[in-house]
Structures are given as structure tokens and as C-alpha cells.
């Protein structure tokens, strides 16, 4: 079949694409297709599902930094790594809401809150539930990343109004144990199941630059695309090599391969938001432009991404202007409900 016919075929079947099962060899062939063919197909699929010039803006706040018991080889927040990062306690609910309001006023439509935990403890649940309720009342979409979740915890977060839960699978199943040993790939998938079963939208993606092969990248996307439902949001990160972590000296990712991965994610998960996530500080404007053309339609804004740098908002605004890109609007009603302040005992526990 000619390239043009294959593209026509792909576009014609795009409505089924989010439900179809992908084969590894089929996905690998797409990943290795001539670059222009791959990008044309990705852009064609993208246009069929999204405004091609709109990018969703999310703001990320670290509500509890460092001291994590997990051993993710890329992460400065692992207590087992030697990165210079001091651990903090869980942030107060009021402070989170002040920051969320600022983010909303600056144009962010989704507020993501991340805590460096293996999983939330019972004593933390009341606080994170209050954070979700408070951010939701500001009229923003809410997202949390707190580590592994039980079905009960997922249900409580859903009841509080949580829209998205981020839990990245990071890499392929085959490469996973080379990067993390304190939990398994299956643990990750179990939490994704619990989140989806609770009715929360899944945000799950991975990181490039962990010493993985092209097959690992493709396999990671095949796992995501073949979930019972593909994630609503797929962050694709480029490793920020942090001194003191085992991956400090990992070889850099070829920018062309990074763009290929974005394009493949767009084709395999046509209705998902593909997020150009960590690593943008090391990307040129031209590389970011290629990623948007390949189908990335979400970014994090703000100067920090949990603990690493992110391009300043002015720089993003200038790039958007140069590319004719505008922020994606969120059509939600701003609720005017009052959020109850956490009770004194909760505040005391947070300060522990
Ligand atoms: S990536 Fe998350 S789970 Fe892994 S060490 Fe860092 S904070 Fe902990």
C-alpha cells in the first residue's frame, strides 16, 4: 500500500483508533517510517480530533517534596538517591489554594498537585481531599499524583471531584526493572485500573532518556494505547539528568527520536491530550514547534516542574505568538461554593 493510501486508511479508521489494539511490530514500523510521512500522518490525525493551534496549559505544584522511599533512578526526590534536595512536609491546604488561584488567573485550566509518596497514608487523605475540593471550586480541572492508590482511595478522590490522576508507567515493561526496583510494572498498571474503575480520568505516560531502546519506547506506547481505555492525557517527558541520581550521565535523547515518539503517541491515541512535559528547558523553540506539529497539545507552565526547571511563562507566550498557538479553553462553570477550612486536628497533623 502506498504511503498516501496508508494515511487515508489511518484517517478513515481514526474513530476506531482509540479502541483498537496495537501490535508491537505495526507500531515499530510507524515509529521508523520516513519522518515526513510519520509527521504528516500524526498531524492529519491530530486535526481530525483537536484544534491544531490550541494547546492546553497545566500548572504543577509540589505539595510534598522529597524524602520518597521509592528508588526511581531519574528522580531527585528519592531518599535513596544523592541529589541535593531537602524534604518538605505536606503543604497546607490554604497555601495550595492561594497558588491555584494565581495559576487560574494566569490562564492555567488544570491544576496538578504532586506528592513524593509511595502511596498516600490515611492521615494525608483528608488534606488531599480538601485540596481537590478547593481547586475544583475555583473552576479548574484537578489532577493529582500521589503514588499508588487503593480502590478506596481512588473512590474518595473521585467523590471530592478529582478529574485526573497521573501515574506514569515510565518505560517499557522489559526496561522497567533497570530504572526502578521498589515497585513493579504490574503495580503501576494496578493503580491505573483502580483510578479508571473509580471514574477518574487517567494521565499516564513516560520518560525518554532512561537508557531505553526504540523498541522500549514503542512498547511503552503500545501498553498505554492498549489499556482498556487509552489514557486521557499522555505526558511524554525528556529526562532531566540530575546530579546525584543513577541516571545523571545517561546519554541524551536524539531530538528527532523524541519528535517521532510524540507523533506515534498522537497516532496511537488520537483523542488523548499528548503533553510535552519535563525537559522543555533543554529543547529549542524549533524542537518544541516540531512536537506541536507532531501532535503535542498540552504543556506545563510555570517556572518549576515539581523540582526541576521549566521555561518561563514569558518565553512560552513569545513562542506561542510566533507559532500562532493559543491556549485551549476550558468550558466549565466556576462554582461559588465555600470550601471548609480543614479542622484544627488536620492542620496539626499536616504540620507533623
Ligand atoms: S518519581 Fe515519584 S515515586 Fe519515584 S522517587 Fe520520585 S517522587 Fe518517588
Q: What cell numbers appear for 22 in the block?
A: 496495537
Residue of 63, 66, 75, 278 with the most ligand 1 atoms within 8 Å of its CB, for mutation:
75
The strand pair at 304-305 and 308-309 is best described as: antiparallel
pLDDT of residue 348: 33
Domain that holds residue 140: 22-335
Structural domain contains residue 346? no
Structural domain contains residue 352? no
Using the mean position of ligand 1's atoms as its centre, give its distance from the Cα of residue 196 in Å.
21
What would the mean pLDDT of 191-210 be, rounded to a whole number?
96
> What torsion, rounded to 10 degrees, do the Cα atoms 183, 159, 57, 51 define?
110
Per residue in 239-289, pLDDT (tens digit) is 988 888 888 889 999 999 999 999 999 999 999 999 998 888 889 999 999
Distance between CA 301 and CA 55 in Å, rounded?
11
Q: What cell numbers appear for 321 in the block?
A: 505568538
Backbone angles phi, psi at 111, to 5 degrees: -115, 120
Structural domain contains residue 51? yes
Going by pLDDT thresholds of 50, 70 and 90, the confidence category of residue 335 is: very low
Residue of 77, 168, 244 with the most ligand 1 atoms within 8 Å of its CB, for mutation:
77
- Of 22-31, 73-82, 284-293, least confident by mean pLDDT is 73-82
Distance between CA 153 and CA 297 in Å, rounded?
30
Mean pLDDT over the full length of the chain: 86
Structural domain contains residue 8? no
Structural domain contains residue 101? yes
Residue 343 appears among annotated catalytic residues: no
Residue 118 appears among annotated catalytic residues: no
pLDDT of residue 158: 96
Distance between CA 213 and CA 188 in Å, rounded?
21
Distance between CA 186 and CA 173 in Å, rounded?
8
What would the mean pLDDT of 88-94 be, rounded to a whole number?
90
Per residue in 104-157, pLDDT (tens digit) is 888 788 899 999 999 999 999 999 999 999 999 999 999 999 999 999 999 999
Structural domain contains residue 342? no
Residue 68 appears among annotated catalytic residues: yes
SS (H, E, C) the chain: CCHHHHHHHHHHCHHHHCCCCCCHHHHHHHHCCCHHHHHHHHHHHHHHHCCCCEEEEEEEEEEECCCECCCCCCCCCECCCCCCCCCCCCCCHHHHHHHHHHHHHCCCCEEEEEECCCCCCHHHHHHHHHHHHHHHHCCCEEEEECCCCCHHHHHHHHHHCCCEEECCCECCHHHHHHHCCCCCHHHHHHHHHHHHHCCCEEECCEEECCCCCHHHHHHHHHHHHCCCCCCCEEEEEECCCCCCCCCCCCCCCCHHHHHHHHHHHHHHCCCCEEEECCCHHHCCHHHHHHHHHCCCCEEEECCEECCEECCCHHHHHHHHHHHCCEECCCCCCCCCCCCCCCCHHHHHHHCC
Structural domain contains residue 348? no
Whether ligand 1 lies within 6 angstroms of the CB of 310 is answered as no
Q: What is the CATH number of the domain that holds 193?
A: 3.20.20.70
Closest C-alpha to ligand 1, atom 7: 116
- The domain total for the chain is 1
pLDDT of residue 181: 94
Distance between CA 150 and CA 309 in Å, rounded?
31
Whether ligand 1 lies within 6 angstroms of the CB of 81 is answered as no
347, pLDDT greater than 60: no
Structural domain contains residue 141? yes
Whether ligand 1 lies within 6 angstroms of the CB of 278 is answered as no
Q: b or e along 229-249 (b: 16 or more beta carbons within 10 Å of the residue's beta carbon)?
A: ebbbbbbbbbbbbbeebbbee
The percent of residues in the chain predicted with pLDDT above 70, rounded, is 84
Amino acid at each position: 500500500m502506498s504511503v498516501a493510501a496508508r494515511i487515508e486508511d489511518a484517517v478513515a479508521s481514526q474513530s476506531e483508533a482509540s479502541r483498537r489494539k496495537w501490535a508491537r511490530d505495526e507500531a515499530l514500523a510507524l515509529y521508523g517510517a520516513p519522518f515526513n510521512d510519520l509527521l504528516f500522518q500524526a498531524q492529519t490525525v491530530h486535526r481530525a480530533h483537536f484544534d491544531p493551534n490550541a494547546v492546553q496549559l497545566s500548572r504543577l505544584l509540589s505539595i510534598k517534596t522529597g524524602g520518597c522511599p521509592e528508588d526511581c533512578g531519574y528522580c531527585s526526590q528519592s531518599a535513596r538517591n544523592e541529589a541535593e534536595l531537602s524534604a518538605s512536609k505536606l503543604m497546607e491546604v490554604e497555601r495550595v489554594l492561594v497558588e491555584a488561584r494565581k495559576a487560574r488567573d494566569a490562564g492555567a485550566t488544570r491544576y496538578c498537585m504532586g506528592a513524593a509518596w509511595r502511596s498516600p497514608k490515611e492521615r494525608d487523605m483528608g488534606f488531599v481531599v480538601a485540596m481537590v475540593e478547593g481547586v475544583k471550586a475555583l473552576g479548574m480541572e484537578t489532577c493529582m499524583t500521589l503514588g499508588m492508590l487503593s480502590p478506596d482511595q481512588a473512590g474518595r478522590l473521585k467523590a471530592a471531584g478529582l478529574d485526573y490522576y497521573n501515574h506514569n508507567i515510565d518505560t517499557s515493561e522489559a526496561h522497567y526493572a533497570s530504572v526502578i526496583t521498589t515497585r513493579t510494572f504490574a503495580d503501576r498498571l494496578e493503580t491505573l485500573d483502580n483510578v479508571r474503575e473509580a471514574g477518574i480520568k487517567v494521565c499516564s505516560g513516560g520518560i525518554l532518556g532512561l537508557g531505553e531502546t526504540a523498541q522500549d519506547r514503542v512498547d511503552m506506547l503500545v501498553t498505554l494505547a492498549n489499556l482498556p481505555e487509552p489514557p486521557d492525557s499522555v505526558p511524554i517527558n525528556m529526562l532531566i539528568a540530575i546530579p546525584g541520581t543513577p541516571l545523571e550521565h545517561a546519554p541524551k535523547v536524539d531530538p528527532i527520536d523524541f519528535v517521532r515518539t510524540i507523533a506515534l503517541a498522537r497516532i496511537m491515541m488520537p483523542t488523548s491530550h499528548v503533553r510535552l512535559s519535563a525537559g522543555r528547558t533543554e529543547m529549542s523553540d524549533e524542537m518544541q514547534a516540531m512536537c506541536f506539529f507532531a501532535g503535542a497539545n498540552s504543556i506545563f507552565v510555570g517556572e518549576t516542574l515539581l523540582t526541576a526547571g521549566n521555561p518561563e511563562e514569558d518565553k512560552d507566550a513569545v513562542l506561542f505568538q510566533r507559532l500562532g498557538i493559543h491556549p485551549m479553553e476550558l468550558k466549565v462553570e466556576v462554582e461559588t461554593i465555600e470550601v471548609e477550612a480543614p479542622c484544627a486536628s488536620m492542620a496539626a497533623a499536616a504540620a507533623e
